Amino acid sequence: MTASHGQFTIERIVKAPPARVYAAWSTKEGKEAWFAAPDKWTLLTREFDFREGGRERLAGKWASGMVTTFDALYRNIVPNERIVYVYDMWIDDKRISVSLATVQFEPHGAGTKLIVTEQGVFVDGYDDAGSRERGTGDLMDQLVRAVEGK
């Protein structure tokens, strides 16, 4: 069985104070406003327990019938400053990756510099080919639109 590694950092400037950007990650309503897949995806499960040791789980079915699952555990939370979590990604019943994600919220003028760093291990022959970084970038764009009301 194989394991390959990847790492990336994505930054966005958000025209909102850190507390508001943090709320988009730390509240159920805030997260639901941006953390979702495109139209051809049907929600199957959403669990959200935001606290150190808490779990977040999101699963959905694509038009093709494929089911993807995001299963995270929150490991370190500093309100309005940092969130660290580990998560597994699944396609159907096969784990494809295990990742460590760090989200930082830094004051930037009247807004926030959002920094997301992920270190991932892609397992058992799964070839990411950069799709995780592209997908995370798309989600950060959705977060900016949700927080800025666009």
Check which CATH number belongs to the domain holding 133 and give it. Answer: 3.30.530.20
- Read off the pLDDT band of 140 (50, 70, 90): very high
End-to-end CA distance of the chain: 45
- CA-CA distances (angstroms) from residue 57 to 29, 45, 61, 106, 143? 15, 7, 14, 27, 18
CA distance 54 to 27: 13
Cβ–Cβ under 8 Å, residues 97 and 120: yes
> Given this model, what pLDDT does residue 128 score?
79
- Read off the pLDDT band of 19 (50, 70, 90): very high
Structure tokens at 140: 């950060």
> Given this model, what pLDDT does residue 121 score?
94
What is the torsional sign of CA 103, 138, 127, 92? positive
User: Which residues span the domain enclosing 17?
Assistant: 3-148
pTM, two decimals, is 0.93
Amino acid at 33: A
> Given this model, what pLDDT does residue 130 score?
82
Cα–Cα nearest to 35, from 143, 128, 122, 109: 143
Percentage of residues in the chain with pLDDT exceeding 70? 100
Into how many domains does the chain fold?
1
Q: Is 105 exposed, middle or buried (0-12, 13-18, 19+ CB in 10 A)?
A: buried
Cβ–Cβ under 8 Å, residues 57 and 70: yes
Q: Is the pLDDT of residue 77 over 80?
A: yes
